[in-house]
Structure 1
């Protein structure tokens, strides 16, 4: 496939990034290599979207810190950026809405770069057609595509009761697509086979196997920090310095939101 015929793809990673680790960054590089190696895609951008404080996850430090650490971590990257839209919302925002927001931003940016007016009837008509026929289902579409980038643990979380709305899973996987990085102890292919909705949209899921395994966990990093142990080479040096300068991740901070029900569990349990 010639370069000009390749599908332009944006990778979006949502999560706590509490704190961001080298493995979070490595996921983007692994995904880009795998997707471009297929000969079908040109990965043009990576976006890190830290969750807002309203998520209520135990030990989640303030979004302002998580955003700044992510920005410091990506300073040397020519293609990975950090977006604060999700983290600045007053309440927790469903991942499907975050994906929807960034897809619209990508299309708007592409439209403007081509010199088009996003408010024209022609643009609205095209957007209406895109809603009827999602771009990820049309391999010949010249519009940029967006994939949710995640680890296999996130993919498997689709099966946790009340953590995701079924229609959100359908939208994320069916309309946009997922690029999933394998992790030790997780079997992404098996989970896809066992899930009817994931199996239905299996062609929209790219499973990327990490042969050089690196199981850096933000949870383990926070534990080491609480104990005064070194986390150098697990995080970018600039992030380590930021944590030290702001005295983040203590025994007290790990108890933040302790006993509080996670926002999606609160919201979806009420609807049943």
Structure 2
């Protein structure tokens, strides 16, 4: 009997990355180890996709800086890259739309490779990589379109890493939507706890405190060079509607 061929898997992380931290990058390593340990998948790449300025979250620095910091941080990775497509869009991009786009790009590359090598390999899959706090967003009434929940959870699936006291299994149990798709939600344990958050990093930077070993040195140098994360920058977008809320006033484009 032929050995079961592992499914190539791409991990996608969407978020502010304001700034990217060592913990953000650690999620990719944890997720790859877990998914490959199932014997079903072979993780082939990872994608960091920072949100656009249209997300309008208070304290969100310009996308050009967040992209630059992410690229600096990931210079040491041989499998995770930064993608600028989402960050360049004028408005906030819904998660399902971002996943749809990246999956399309992955399949195009697969078809090109297949036609040139005549390979009969298994098509790659895409899954959303997130922390446990992301799962709590599915409980917020009206935040997610019903069809997007089905697309993200059912069509693609999640790889979710526990964060401190917040563990995926509890959130899955408490949400009917998550429970329906529990077999497509891969829960990853982080045994070496690291609760570094970008929020705490920004707070420390505003106060002139050290963030060494919380973010890469290259990112710290970039922050200093461009004078990011000050009291003024934290007031950016105050009074603006958050991207997901502003998007609710517009119909979804079929071209997305």
Instruction: State TM-score, norm by structure 2.
Output: 0.92
Residue 95 (structure 2) aligns with: 95
Name segments (4+ residues, structure 1) moved above 3 Å: 1-4
Match of 1:44 in 2: 44
Give the equivalent residue in structure 2 for 1:111. 111
CA deviation after TM superposition for structure 1 residue 161, in Å: 2.5
SS in 2 for 1:265: helix
The answer on 1:160 being equivalent to 2:169 is: no
1:162 and 1:268 in contact (8 A); partners too: no
Q: Which residues of 2 match residues 25-40 of structure 1 at below 5 A?
A: 25-40=25-40
Q: What is the aligned partner in structure 2 of residue 62 from structure 1?
A: 62
Aligned pair partner of 2:182 in 173, 195, 202: 202
Q: Is the 8 A contact 1:52 1:91 kept in 2?
A: yes
Does residue 16 (structure 1) correspond to residue 16 (structure 2)? The answer is: yes
Asked if the contact 2:138–2:175 (Cα under 8 Å) also holds between the matched residues in 1, the reply is: no
Partner of 1:227: 207
Which residue of the partner structure matches residue 119 of structure 1?
none
Structure 1, unpaired ranges of 5+: 117-140
- Number of residues of Structure 1 aligned to a counterpart in Structure 2: 247
2:115 partner SS: coil
**Partner deviation per Cα, 1:52-98 (whole Å, 9 max, x = no partner):** 00011010000000000000011111000000000001111111000
The Cα of 1:2 is off from its aligned counterpart by: 7.5
Name 2:247's counterpart in structure 1.
Answer: 267
Distance 2:203 2:139 in 1: 27
Q: Distance in 1 between matches of 2:244 and 2:2?
A: 43
